Amino acid sequence: MTTSTKDPVLVVIQLSGANDYMNTVIPYTDPLYYDFRPVVSIPQNEVVPIDGQLAFHPSLSPLKDKFWDTGKMALIHGAGYPNPNRSHFRSMDIWHTCEPEIMGIEGWLGRAIRDLDPTAENVLTGVNLGQSLPRALAVPGVPVASVANLEQYGVLTGIEGDKERNQALDVFARMYTPAVGSGIVMDYLAQTGQDILKGADILKVAPAKYSSTVEYAENSIAQALKGIAQVHLADLGTRVFYCSHALYDTHATQVVDHKKLWDDLAPAVCDFYDDLREHDASDNVVMLLFTEFGRRVRDNGSGTDHGSGGGSFVIGDPIKGGMYSEYPSLKPEDQLDGDLRFSYDFRGIYSTILERWLGLDAKPVVGGSFEQLDFI
Amino acid sequence: MASNDIQLMAHLMRRAGFGAPFEELEARAAKGYEATVEELLRAEEKPDWEEDVARRHMIGGHLGNAMPEIQGFWMQRMIATTRPLQEKMTLFWHTILCSGDSKLDHPETMDTHIDMVRENALGRYPDLLVALSRDPAMIIYLDNRYSHKDSINENYGRELLELFSMGVGNYTEDDVKMAARAFTGWTLAPAMNSFIPYQRHAFKFQYDPEDHDDGEKVFLGQRGRFNGDDIINIIARQPATARFIARHLYDFFVADEVQVPAWQTTPPRDPAAVNVLADAYLQSDYDIRSVLRVLFNSDFFKDESVWYARVKSPVEVVVGTMRLVGDHLTPAPGIESLVGAAGGMGQILLNPPSVEGWHGGKEWINSGALVNRVNFVANRVGDLSLPGVQRIVERLGDITESISPSDFVDGCLELMGSIRVEEDTRLALIAHVERGGPLVRDTEEERASFARKVGELLQLIASSREYQFA
Amino acid sequence: MTTQAKVTRDFRYDVTLGRTNLSGIGFRNPVDLALGKNGNIYVINRANEAQPFGTRISWLDINQDFHGEFGQRGNEDGQFIWPLSIAVAPDDRVFVADEWLSRIVIFSQEGQPQGTWGTKGSSDGELDGPSGLVFDSKGNLLVSDGNNHRIQRFTPEGVLISGFGTFGAGEGQLNQPWGITVDVHGAIFVADWRNDRIQKFTPEGQFLLQIGTSGSGEGQLNRPTGVAVDRDGDIYVTDWLNDRVQVFDAQGNFVTTWTGDANLSKWAELQLAGSPDVVEQRDTVPDMLEMEKRFREPIAVEVDEENRIMIVDCRRDRIQVYKKVS
């Protein structure tokens, strides 16, 4: 590996399905909030205030204690883009490709990975903990490992027995040896197959090398973050990690479901940083949590429907905590079609992270210049 | 052991269909090559799949209200189809005449679009283009509803020329504007596309004469008060269109071409073949079925140099595997995971990345996609409980009393669909079988071990580089 | 709003229940409903497998008070993969047919799992794709055994009592039967789905009458899925692929057709209140209210004691309720 442990690392958590920002960072002293949310609101005596206007959802308490109160958590209110799209697919595409107007193909993190490792020297510069590659990481020719399970990563995982699988992998390696005259695509396949074997060999050591006193919960996001910690601590040169947490699409029974999601997520993030700190490996890791849009201002009697104007979180030791951008107004005349109006272009968050953290030129990655924030 | 007829039939079925189990190849080879081509071409003469039964079990799948519903329904249809070429052509057009749900946000309209494509898939090309121009999905996808008499939106006019018919370099910017003007007024009736409170309502085409630019236009050198239909009729008879469609068909059915944006500067892999297909198009009144008849019966298609000259698309990998192993031939839970599997290999059905569709060929392959391809196929062909795999084990057991490792490998390659691999690959497989000891099957235990060895070898074949090709 | 039937009957559209939702108040691909004591209404939401949490039983009443939901996707006790039919036993337990696992799943009136029975197969007493359930007057369960093309009668514990029907299109024969009901006299009505007809049998399974032929004309049927009979003997059929409900008299004569009259339900109103842009968009669609009325693949029907006819409007995630006034 050509990188050292102290190179800046970015961990991105996608909150899939549109997190209800209004019930995550709550305008608890605004009577309009309770007017619009007769069913889906958090009572004033349960919220966790962060100032005179805003409070966290009680399930974010662990994050408040560990990051907010120590000045290591930035809230970016009203993150969105012009002409909000309320389709999950489309809006997620826009966040992934930074292309609100046209259908983009390349993912912003795929571009960032290409800039971090232009010769694709390390097949693990980008690692996604999940089954298939999110578009944010996809750029033709940029290798990114999508790992559902660290111990099980690789080909022919269905063959039972260690001996049998190893023998099968021997055959695979032999079949993927480039031969003279077999053609460009065959050679390319051979190279790709060898990359897979190499990646699997490297990744395999991560869980083996890992030991920690932190006990992660069994839920999917905690396990994904544990996997990220294992790879990070194995010092494999990975600079961009990605994972997703679902499903925030709380059209109904939101009070229960939304609580459960954050009850899983908040402690998992805390455990992750505890784990890194235990190994003195946290100061070079910044985490971004984003979602594709916010939800309606008014509840629907049980949940909330698709809206716009969400919010993002940036967490980590190098982060200058606090509130950035403006919390959108709930006044009916300020709303956009029944939604919070976006107050800050999300591409500014990306630009800030790319330039001030990963040391890259943001413009070509996000497709323009956007106002950056001082959270780094 | 394989006859040339069966190998050629395997090639035909990989291209004109989604591959076929060995028994089907034998039956078709017995019927004859040309008869099989004819049967595939005359798709509508075959009884269709049982759509009512599929709708009964896949409640809400037909013209569904959510993407997974319509994706699953189409995936099921491809696996179950009795008309493989019709379905393959539907997939072909889906990769060219692109429309996608991330922009539409209206699954039912997306599904109606595919039904329209299927209905026109083997017909006259101008008919398909007219239907496409009236298709609500396309009117949304390429913004024609925002193209007005007094302020045209060029998106559809441009892509119609650039991506759907002639290709860059064969028309001017003025032609784009003229085409866009001709399609003003081709719009949608107002409709409700919010899924609350009771699900979306279908979009309907509407021609608005008030918003149509009825003025004179000069398009590709012709002058007239053209409407959209006139534009399509002019486009359809252009030699550039003939060559463009011919090259697309060559790319999809014969051998991978370079990516479309490079076509202007890179000559076709086989210019003579493209000419033959283009001529067939022009001489048949632009009839796609006639072009395909020429294609499948041509020497350039049958030639061994183009066998395995195409990287399978993810959907071909998934559908072909299911048809081979005989799983999911009728509706069953789990269709969603098959849609997801193709997505994990880089092809989310009904949601192409852009109007250019998917970049195929070599670009289907990257490390993540290859892991998913290999594991998906290996996990199924290694599953001895599946009927298609059981048939392979049985057939292999029938071959001879004692079977040598090389016969064993050749037999498995044959029964997986008359697959040909490079000699190095074959030797690697034989060496592996040799390492596994004798292939006896006298006792119950030995027969079980024999079956396991078959499953393992099928997995290795599925993981080979050659298997990634069609 | 008022449909004057040809004969001397007065039907009125009453109310719509439901809205689109994957959990809580609302339905997703509802496929059947059952009426219990104290006004309980149970609705099966088939949802789809990509959104498995939407597969559940909703428990509500005619006033759209929501009492909860139970059951989920899976093959454990209290779970189902492809739930298709639901019935309430005389002792108030709720029975659900799972056409994939070919078994019956039982819940208490409040939704507590109470066991399952049923084995996949084609022998007597086995099931293949059970698609309709109804309790007879003796408290035994009649099961429309779809892929076996027959009707079987079981005790509530799953012991086979009797059966009738074979595959075919002749009188008394069946082709993938779906909905099933009994009238006050114990006669059995079956939606003979792929034969495009309703058949009436004696309580013992002797053929009595068939209603409907293939087609979309008056009195014709296209894959009928559900059937219900009221106290007077009038027969209601969900004419699935014709997107309509047809009413027949006791002799099978055509009475009237409904194509749907839905308006905004209480739950729908709640939802729209938070989405002013949707409300605005609705105003721009000239025939919005007219379109919104229509059935889309109505799939099941029940009649309650007050002569309310409740129709599960599958693809619109709602139940349209009509009332027989006289």
ipTM: 0.96
CB contact under 8 Å between A337 and C277, yes or no, is yes
Provide the pLDDT for residue B1.
44
Q: For B80-113, what is each residue's pLDDT tens digit?
A: 999 999 999 999 999 999 888 878 889 999 999 9
Q: For A100-121, what is each residue's pLDDT tens digit?
A: 888 777 899 999 999 999 998 8
With a pLDDT cut of 70, the percent of chain A lying above it is 99
Full pLDDT tens readout for chain C, 326 residues: 445 445 578 999 999 999 999 999 999 999 999 999 999 999 999 999 988 989 999 999 999 999 999 999 999 999 999 999 999 999 999 999 999 999 999 999 999 999 999 999 999 999 999 999 999 999 999 999 999 999 999 999 999 999 999 999 999 999 999 999 999 999 999 999 999 999 999 999 999 999 999 999 999 999 999 999 999 999 999 999 999 999 999 999 999 999 999 999 999 999 999 899 899 989 999 899 999 999 999 999 999 999 999 999 999 999 999 999 98
At C179, give phi and psi (nearest 5°): -65, 155
Q: Do C55 and C96 form a contact (C-beta atoms < 8 A)? A: no
* Segment A121-125 mean pLDDT: 90
CB contact under 8 Å between C49 and B196, yes or no, is no
* Segment B448-466 mean pLDDT: 95
Q: Do B253 and B16 form a contact (C-beta atoms < 8 A)? A: yes
Between helix B387-398 and helix B444-463 the angle, nearest 10°, is: 110
Ranges A334-343, B186-195, C2-11: which has the least confidence: C2-11
Please determine, for residue B19, whether its predicted confidence score (pLDDT) is greater than 80: yes
Q: For B375-423, what is each residue's pLDDT tens digit?
A: 999 999 999 999 999 999 999 987 667 789 999 999 999 999 999 999 9
Answer CATH for A9-155+201-366 from 1.10.20, 3.40.720, 3.40.50, 1.10.10: 3.40.720
| Cβ-Cβ contacts under 8 Å for B178 (sequence gap 6 or more) | B157, B217, B218, B219, B226, B231
CB contact under 8 Å between C264 and B53, yes or no, is no
Which residue of C241, C284, C315 is in closest CB contact with B60?
C315
What secondary structure letter does DSSP report for B362? Answer: G
Please determine, for residue A3, whether its predicted confidence score (pLDDT) is greater than 50: no
Structure tokens at A134: 């999110």
Q: Do A157 and B375 form a contact (C-beta atoms < 8 A)? A: yes
CB contact under 8 Å between C25 and A257, yes or no, is no
Cα gap B382→B387, rounded to integer Å: 12
**Every domain of chain A and the residues it spans:** 9-155+201-366
Q: Where are the alpha helices (DSSP H) in B1-147?
A: 4-16, 22-31, 33-41, 51-57, 67-80, 84-96, 101-104, 107-120, 125-133, 136-141
Nearest residue to B79 (alpha-carbon basis) of B110, B101, B58, B98:
B58
Q: For A191-206, what is each residue's pLDDT tens digit?
A: 889 989 988 888 888 9
Region of residue C297 (phi > 0: left; psi between -120 and 50: alpha; otherwise: beta):
left
Q: Which positions in chain C have a beta carbon within 8 angstroms of at least one beta carbon in chain B?
A: 19-20, 29, 31, 46, 48-51, 81-82, 99-100, 176, 178, 193-194, 223, 241, 262, 264-265, 267-268, 271-272, 275, 278, 281-282, 284-286, 288, 291-292, 296, 299, 314-318
Secondary structure of residue B186 in the 3-state scheme: strand
Provide the pLDDT for residue C290.
93
At A23, give phi and psi (nearest 5°): -105, 5
pTM score: 0.90
Provide the pLDDT for residue C2.
47
**Distances in Å between the alpha carbon of A32 and those of A258, A302, A305?**
21, 18, 18
Interface of A with C in 217-256 (CB under 8 A): 249, 251-253
**Every domain of chain B and the residues it spans:** 1-35, 36-306, 387-468
* pLDDT confidence band for B2 (50 / 70 / 90): low
Reported as type and span, the H/E element at residue A276 is helix A254-278
Instruction: Find chains touching chain C: ≥3 CB pairs under 8 Å.
Output: A, B
Provide the pLDDT for residue C5.
47
Q: How many helices (H) and strands (E) does chain C have?
A: 3, 27
* Segment A22-46 mean pLDDT: 95
B467, amino acid identity: Y
Interface of B with C in 72-91 (CB under 8 A): 72
Q: For B213-252, what is each residue's pLDDT tens digit?
A: 999 999 999 999 999 999 999 999 999 999 999 999 999 9
A133 contacts on B by Cβ (under 8 Å)? 344, 368
* Segment A225-243 mean pLDDT: 96
Provide the pLDDT for residue A253.
83
What secondary structure letter does DSSP report for A369? Answer: -
Cα gap B305→A358, rounded to integer Å: 48
Provide the pLDDT for residue A266.
98
Provide the pLDDT for residue A6.
83
